[in-house]
């Protein structure tokens, strides 16, 4: 994995940890554990990178000057089909600092 991916994965790991500590419920809804970088790397490698119909998007906050360029969350799609022009949204994770902002509505709209 390239350095840019590692930077985003480190930020994702910190965001997931922060969200889990804030609510205590985050991991209840995920079918896998996301509390460490090695667990996130394993999830991305085994489930996303090995399956051409799955994609993981990093949501970068670019509008707000306070958070400009920060990782705001993650969106995962599965079952992408060029033939059917379809994909299934499996989860949208918006980190606590960006909840109740434009990030959520924009991520869902994409």
Read off the pLDDT of residues 39-74 as tens digits, 9 standing for 90 and up: 777 878 888 888 889 888 878 777 666 656 778 888
105/43 Cα distance (integer angstroms): 26
Instruction: Please tell me the predicted confidence (pLDDT) of residue 25.
Output: 63
Instruction: Please tell me the predicted confidence (pLDDT) of residue 7.
Output: 66
Could you count the other beta carbons within 10 Å of the beta carbon of residue 55?
14
Q: pLDDT-derived band of residue 20, with 50, 70 and 90 as boundaries?
A: low
pLDDT at 76 over 80: yes
102/83 Cα distance (integer angstroms): 32
Instruction: Please tell me the predicted confidence (pLDDT) of residue 92.
Output: 81
106 CB contacts (<8 Å, ≥6 apart)? 59
Give the residues across from 76 on adjacent strands. Answer: 56, 91
Q: pLDDT-derived band of residue 110, with 50, 70 and 90 as boundaries?
A: low
Model-level pTM? 0.67
74/91 Cα distance (integer angstroms): 8
DSSP reduced 3-state for 47: helix
Are the beta carbons of 72 and 98 closer than 8 angstroms? yes
- Mean of all residue pLDDT scores within the chain: 75
């Amino acid at each position: 994995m390239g350095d840019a991916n590692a930077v985003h994965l480190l930020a994702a790991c910190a965001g997931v940890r922060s969200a889990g500590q804030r609510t205590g419920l985050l991991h209840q809804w995920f079918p896998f554990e996301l509390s460490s970088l090695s667990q996130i790397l394993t999830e991305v490698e085994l489930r996303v990178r090995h399956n051409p119909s799955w994609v993981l998007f990093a949501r970068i906050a670019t509008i707000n000057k306070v958070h400009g360029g920060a990782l705001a969350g993650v969106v995962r799609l599965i079952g992408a089909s060029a033939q059917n022009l379809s994909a299934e949204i499996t989860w949208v994770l918006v980190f606590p600092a960006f909840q109740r902002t434009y990030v959520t509505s924009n991520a869902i709209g994409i």
